[in-house]
């Protein structure tokens, strides 16, 4: 659970940083569209995991608060760094690339190993080849849809 939260938090800060540091309206519009979809689905996925976790109310509230404040924090950080942050500089590209790679790796690990594996190895899916094919098709369509959105944004 904490690995999933950490991947989403790093990713949200990087998205907010890029959005806050952007000066062009042409850059901000696709970022807002991508961020809205992205945060909505991340929030639904993380919210489901938080609800299933065996944590107390304070811990759950803390995780929700932490998730909901990271993107605005990244935007504020990006706005504060607009004078220093040059989004085409080699240092900025390397730092953003490393942060994106780390968060993407964490998110892929959590999605495939922790979340999907538990569903695919459950007795309901193991008993039906047809249901397995439907679920696999849904996963591939979802991954393809996200790839198309990433290419578009």
Residue 88 main-chain phi, psi, to 5 deg: -105, 0
Mean pLDDT of 141-147: 86
Q: Tell me if 64 sits within 8 A of 50, measured CB to CB.
A: yes
| pLDDT tens digits along 65-80 | 988 888 888 888 888 8
What integer pLDDT is reported at residue 138 of this predicted model?
A: 92
What integer pLDDT is reported at residue 118 of this predicted model?
A: 78
Q: How far apart are CA 10 and CA 33, in angstroms?
A: 19
For the chain, how big is the Rg over CA atoms in Å? 18
Q: How far apart are CA 13 and CA 81, in angstroms?
A: 13
Mean pLDDT of 98-105: 75
Domain ranges of the chain: 2-108, 122-153
Beta strands per DSSP E along the chain: none
Mean pLDDT of 59-70: 87
Query: Given a cut of 60, is residue 124 above it in pLDDT?
Result: yes
Reported as a pLDDT band with limits 50, 70 and 90, residue 153 is: low
| pLDDT tens digits along 35-57 | 787 788 888 878 887 888 788 88
What distances in angstroms separate CA 25 from CA 20, 31, 37, 100, one per listed residue?
A: 12, 10, 19, 23
| Cα angle for residues 61, 2, 118 (degrees, 5° grid) | 105
């Amino acid at each position: 659970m904490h690995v999933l939260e950490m991947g989403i938090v790093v990713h949200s800060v990087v998205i907010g940083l890029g959005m806050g540091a952007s000066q062009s309206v042409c850059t901000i519009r696709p970022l807002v569209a991508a961020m809205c979809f992205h945060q909505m689905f991340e929030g639904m996925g993380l919210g489901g995991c938080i609800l299933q976790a065996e944590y107390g109310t304070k811990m759950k509230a803390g995780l929700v608060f932490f998730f909901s404040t990271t993107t605005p924090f990244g935007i504020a950080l990006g706005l504060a760094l607009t004078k220093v942050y040059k989004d085409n500089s080699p240092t900025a590209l390397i730092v953003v690339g490393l942060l994106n790679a780390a968060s993407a790796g964490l998110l892929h690990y959590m999605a495939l190993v922790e979340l999907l594996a538990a569903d695919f190895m459950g007795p309901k899916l193991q008993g039906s080849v047809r249901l397995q094919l439907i679920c696999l098709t849904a996963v591939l369509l979802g991954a393809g849809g996200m790839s198309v959105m990433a290419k578009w944004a």
